[in-house]
């Protein structure tokens, strides 16, 4: 009887075992806080694509220590004005819940130059968030790629709830970790270092933590 009871208890705990803590939870040391001040000093904006017109009015603001993208001033990205190569980027975010079932859309950029001639994005949409896609430098022309079909599982929480994403970039590997597990991995990144940033694409989204830690 006790043996059966123990098996049932183990089975109940198995889903929890798949929830590994984030790198930031495991070790708080060595992280740099990138959360901008209300002035957004140290950050800059660029339109997506670069040939588009950038709205003169920013849709990015900081209130009570939270970075908010209102999502009502067109498609652009907010990027930190420093290059990074090998790192772990820790981002905590949530969408503002809307009526109906909209396709929430935003993303986290890594190793992306300001001119977006090449770019790598972790998609943080609501229904298939976590996969990596972008444009790689090529010998003759830039090459687009999309790892959505190779995504291991869907771990993004519903709009209104906080999510944790960590992007682990090391050498040619970029991994996307969402709420407890790696869900997507690019193994042949051709850009060794560039900027990190956040995407505005029509939806209100909040960021309460943006931290980065160099890795060797």
Calculate the CA 207 to chain-centre distance: 10
pLDDT in tens, 181-212: 999 999 999 999 999 999 999 999 999 999 99
Fold classification of 2-214 (topology level): Jelly Rolls (2.60.120)
Rounded to the nearest 5 degrees, what angle is found at the Cα of 172, between the Cα atoms of 18 and 33? 65
CA atoms of 148 and 203, how far apart (whole Å)? 21
Where are the domains positioned within the chain?
2-214
CA atoms of 13 and 186, how far apart (whole Å)? 31
Residue pair 93/165 in contact (Cβ under 8 Å)? The answer is: yes
Check residue 15 and give its pLDDT. 46
Q: Secondary structure of the chain: what % helix, strand, coil (to 5)?
A: 10, 40, 50
pLDDT in tens, 50-66: 999 999 999 999 999 99
**For residue 126, how many other CB atoms are within 10 A of its CB?**
20
| First vs last C-alpha separation in the chain | 50
DSSP code of 10? H
Q: For residue 126, name the pLDDT band (cuts at 50, 70, 90).
A: confident
């Amino acid at each position: 009887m006790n043996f059966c009871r123990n098996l049932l208890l183990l089975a109940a705990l198995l889903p929890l075992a798949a929830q590994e803590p984030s790198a930031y939870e495991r070790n708080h040391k060595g992280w740099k806080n990138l959360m901008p001040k209300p002035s957004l000093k140290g950050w800059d904006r660029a339109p997506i694509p670069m040939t588009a017109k950038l709205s003169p009015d920013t849709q990015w603001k900081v209130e009570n220590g939270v970075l908010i993208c209102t999502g009502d001033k067109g498609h652009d990205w907010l990027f930190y004005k420093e290059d990074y190569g090998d790192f772990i980027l820790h981002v905590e975010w949530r969408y503002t819940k809307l009526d109906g079932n909209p396709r929430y859309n935003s993303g986290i950029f890594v190793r992306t130059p300001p001119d977006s001639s090449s770019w790598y994005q972790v998609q943080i949409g609501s229904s298939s968030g976590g996969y990596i896609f972008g444009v790689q430098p090529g010998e003759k022309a830039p090459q687009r790629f999309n790892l959505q079909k190779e995504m291991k599982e869907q771990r993004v929480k519903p709009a209104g709830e906080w999510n944790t994403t960590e992007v682990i970039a090391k050498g040619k590997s970029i991994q996307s970790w969402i709420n407890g597990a790696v869900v997507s991995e690019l193994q042949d990144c051709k850009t060794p270092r560039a900027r990190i940033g956040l995407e505005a694409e029509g939806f209100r989204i909040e960021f309460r933590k943006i931290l980065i830690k160099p890795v060797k």
